């Protein structure tokens, strides 16, 4: 940013009427599940739609790079940090309401998905059991269409409201969005702000059974002892990324504090003091070795922030 641009952005960030909490040079290691990452130039938690709109428009006017994050569950931030603005959704985006007449949750994008799952369970509502234990926010889950090939959150979406500097607020039906395996058709400059999720009444014992089975499966198959970003790679069509990585002889392979998990080979864990560079180097190694062994290019699920 030039000095002129910096002053325009900073003028907004120190404006008493700007409904946000602003943290200059905030270590991103505090905001990622990996517990890794250098400082963001500004980390801004916006409290309202108006504040979000002002911030995104100012970033656009000043050519300032920005990104929106949730709980950092699938995020790897460079050791050098990020020179732009990290936006996270606060107060007004953390509201969850249930409409009994149509059996729908209206959920702010900043709400943890796990809390919606629990709310549905307590109301004996089915449809979200597959997401039990998912660590991210609703917004993040929608963007990556969290779930498996059999069950995914996109199939439960009635509508999504997004905001961008170009189009402002846009509300689309779930059917108007392209949902793929761990992908969606939201553009990079769209921030998901709210959605409606459909559920249906069901036997609470049936719901509990599905949730307990899903939770037990996660506990048995996933490395929960160390920080990680969850699955690092998407499963290629007809293949398991974990099996390919293990077949390439990389299970347990370690670079510094970063390790291909010995529990699940599609997890790279921070065994203590890992740097973003070490995790990235291990990701690159896994991609290279799997391609050499099988001719398959693994596609990362993890988002990279601040890397050249």
Catalytic residues: 182, 231, 301
Residue with tokens 């998912």: 134
The CA-to-CA distance between both ends of the chain, in Å, stands at 17
CA distances from 199 to 63, 105, 125, 291 (A): 41, 8, 6, 41
| DSSP letters for 107-161 | EETTSBHHHHHHHHHHTTEES-GGGTT--SBHHHHHHTT-B-SS-BGGGGEEEEE
Q: Are 120 and 100 in contact (CB under 8 A)?
A: no
Q: Are 80 and 99 in contact (CB under 8 A)?
A: no
Residue with tokens 């003091």: 273
């Amino acid at each position: 940013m030039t000095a002129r641009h910096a002053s325009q952005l900073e003028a907004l960030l120190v404006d008493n009427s700007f409904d946000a909490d602003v943290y200059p040079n905030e270590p991103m290691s505090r905001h990622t599940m990996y517990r890794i990452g250098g400082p963001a130039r500004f980390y801004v938690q916006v409290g309202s739609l108006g504040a979000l709109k002002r911030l995104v428009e100012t970033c656009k006017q000043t050519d300032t790079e920005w990104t929106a994050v949730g709980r950092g569950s699938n995020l790897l931030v460079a050791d050098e940090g990020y020179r732009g603005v990290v936006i996270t959704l606060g107060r007004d985006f953390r509201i969850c309401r249930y409409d009994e007449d149509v059996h729908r949750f209206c959920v702010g994008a900043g709400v943890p998905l796990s809390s919606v799952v629990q709310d549905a369970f307590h109301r004996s509502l089915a449809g979200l059991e597959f997401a039990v234990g998912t660590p991210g926010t609703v917004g993040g889950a929608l963007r990556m269409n969290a779930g498996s090939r059999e069950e995914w959150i996109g199939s439960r979406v009635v509508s999504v409201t997004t905001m961008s500097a170009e189009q402002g607020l846009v509300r689309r039906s779930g059917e108007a969005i392209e949902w793929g395996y761990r992908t969606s058709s939201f553009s990079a400059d769209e921030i998901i702000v709210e959605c409606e999720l459909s559920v249906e009444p069901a036997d609470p014992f049936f719901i509990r059974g599905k949730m307990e089975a899903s939770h037990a499966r996660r506990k048995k198959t996933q490395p929960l002892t160390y920080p990680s970003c969850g699955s690092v790679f998407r499963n290629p069509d007809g293949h398991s990324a974990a099996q390919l990585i293990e077949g390439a002889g990389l299970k347990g392979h370690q670079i510094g504090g970063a390790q291909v998990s010995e529990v699940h080979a599609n997890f790279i864990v921070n065994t203590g003091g890992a740097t973003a560079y070490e995790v990235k180097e291990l990701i690159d190694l896994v991609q290279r070795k799997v391609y050499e062994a099988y001719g398959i290019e693994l596609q990362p699920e993890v988002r990279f922030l601040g890397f050249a």
